[in-house]
Amino acid sequence: MHAPSPMALLLIAIVVLVLFGRGKVSSLMGEVGKGITAFKRGVRDGADEIERTVDTPTERAAVTAERTADDLELRAAQARAEADRIQAEADAARARRADALRDVTPRDADRL
């Protein structure tokens, strides 16, 4: 799908202004701006709080090592699950092959 043309955007803006009025649209945009500012401030405060809780290089290294260890454990678990899935597929393929290659020699009772 393609982006609307500038003329279409202008038409939409005019319709919104006519429907809601300039005051309502301007107050709405002011609220959106306040929300964006509050979000940025929250992100900054969160980063500052993390910096305050982990203030020495040794503690930072320990937190990083813990995160890395958790990531490695998660990846190892995912790799084990993938290996189990592949092994199950291989076992199923072997079973299908064994069924296809079953013994087809005639038995004594089937001989003339």
Q: How far apart are CA 88 and CA 41, in angstroms?
A: 51
pTM, rounded to two decimals: 0.36
Dig out the tokens for 22 from the structure.
């300039």
Per-residue pLDDT for 107 more than 80?
no
Domain extents for the chain?
17-53, 57-98
Amino acid of residue 108: D
Check residue 82 and give its pLDDT.
Answer: 92
How far, rounded to the nearest angstrom, does the alpha carbon of residue 99 sit from its chain's CA centroid?
Answer: 41
Condensed to tens digits (0 to 9), the pLDDT of residues 38-75 reads 999 999 988 888 777 765 666 667 767 777 888 888 88
d(CA 35, CA 62): 35
